[in-house]
Chain A
Amino acid sequence: MKKLASKLYLAIIFVILYAPIVVLMVYSFNDSKTSKWSGFTLHWYQELFQSSMILSALRTTLILAFLSATISTVIGVISCLGIQALKPRFHNIMMALNNIPMVNSELVTGLALMILFITIGISAGFMTVLIAHITFCVPYVILSVMPRLKQSSKSTYEAALDLGATPLLAFFKVVLPDLMPGILSGYMLAFTMSLDDFIITHFTKGAGLNTLSTLIYSELRRGVKPTINALSTLMFLTVLIILLLMNRPRQRGESPS
């Protein structure tokens, strides 16, 4: 009885969580632009691949997510090594500063960066959005890598040095593999945050530049076109397939590290 109740509860939550997504997917096949169902069509998928506006927004979004996740991960890993070496007092100051973008709302972070860019006269565009994304992504990387670094022991690194490895080689052969799970989850987190961000992008992008989020926001007033639904359906299914493939070996009882 209790088991049934919990299963039912899970089911209800998942229905609510996925209902809007199913709606979006279904509407991407709807022949009419309104919410009324008027027959199956692949028309929106055809139009999608001809819409240079959507495709360029998609390109910007993906390049942005890739660059900000990659740069944030590099900065984050290097900084973790640095922060770890600091005295407790400075260690705490760094971590407190690092927490600001996470605690501060995205609204304030976005506004503050917009004011900065305009004040120092950097014209808003791809660079400003990239800087903004890196600024809010690095904290997530640091928070993923730091616990890993604290757990890893120094002696393996020292052993590598004793055995004649240069510090750089020892870092790449010993330390980095040890930190890898943290780095990967930090990278994924940064990528996801950048991909899904709307508020900070909204304030730091210039006219003319659009990510998918800001493109969708600008279309909300007129009603979102089903082409966007079609694109989201494709993206969602791509991610679903990738993640399912990645999840498979782990479920076959590979020992967790």
Chain B
Amino acid sequence: MTKKSFAFPYLFWMIAFTVIPLLLIAVYGFTDRSSGAFTLSNFLAISTKEHWSALLLSLKLSLISTAVCLLLAYPLAMILKKTGTSRTGFIVFLFILPMWMNFLLRTYAWLNLLDDGGILDRFFGLLGIDYRSPIGTTSAIVLGMVYNYLPFMVLPLFNVLSKIDENVVNAARDLGANSVQTFFRIILPLSFPGIVSGITMVFVPALTTFAISDILGARKVLLIGNIIEQEFSTASNWNLGSGLSMVLMIFILISMAILNHYDKNGEGNAF
């Protein structure tokens, strides 16, 4: 039933639409816009103040969001694991459901909630509390990232945690470990693959987003994703955009390499 030749069509597809496009990015990244000669300047352009601070801000915000997602999702996944099996399917379903509403719209809805004159503003106004809208600040963007990517952290964690054999946990308890010890010595190490895949699934999209910062940053906050997007769409300087994309890819590759070190078998896949 398995034949090697069945893999060839997809191999060609991947070469045509995954490998070659990436090589093209490299070509543009390493060539000069006007002369077409080899150059490193698109690459080094990351060191200009505007680009560098955007990259650092992106790294900072995506790290914060990933950490917040992990801290929120871990207890959540533990709770889901403890609820009876009959109901977990439904609760997991509740996490996926919001994804069926367009993510731009959901993010835009936060604008309605948080903005000056928005729902929270009026609510606090009724209570007589002074409200300052976070729209246009980095905290609004972190909120948007956490909101959008939390399910990507919960699902792999839940998957891994629900696969842990209860007997292992019970054995640790029988041997005298208290619940804190059991958690740190048994559950946490066993759930590492899920943590790794959750971090990947939150960190990469958060690092490269431009839509969330567009909406909740009110165009006052520039992330590296915004800059690259503008180079391609408005400025149409593909060479510079490609160079910056490659810098971004290097950061992604480094984080992947670090993470893969901990998850060699890819056990933590969400699916």
Contacts and interface: CB of A to CB of B under 8 A. Distances in A.
B50 to A, nearest CB: 18
- Chain A interface secondary structure, helix, strand, loop or mixed? helix
A35 B102 contact: no
Interface stretch (A38-46, A48-56, A239-247): A239-247
A63 B215 CA distance: 28
Contact of A112 (B5, B24, B72): B24
Given A35-B115, A105-B252, A224 B105 contact: yes
Interface in A99-115: 100-101, 103-109, 111-115
A234 to B, nearest CB: 11
A80 to B, nearest CB: 8
Contacts, number: 224
Interface residues of A, number: 87
Interface string A180-203: 000001100100100110110001
Interface residues of B, number: 81
Nearest to A176: B1
Nearest to A83: B7
A19 interface: yes
10 contacts: A75-B13, A81-B2, A105-B252, A111-B25, A112-B24, A115-B25, A135-B13, A138-B10, A143-B269, A167-B1
Contacts of B100: 192, 195-196, 235-236, 239
B110 interface: yes
Given A16-B147, A116-B24, A143-B269, 4 more contacts: A24-B101, A107-B248, A185-B271, A198-B211
B152 to A, nearest CB: 12
B235 interface: no
B169 to A, nearest CB: 16
Given A111-B25, A239-B100, A251-B86, A116 B10 contact: no
Interface string B236-270: 00100110010011001000100000000000010
Q: Which residue among A24, A140, A250, A251 has the maximum number of chain B CB atoms within 10 Å of its CB?
A: A24
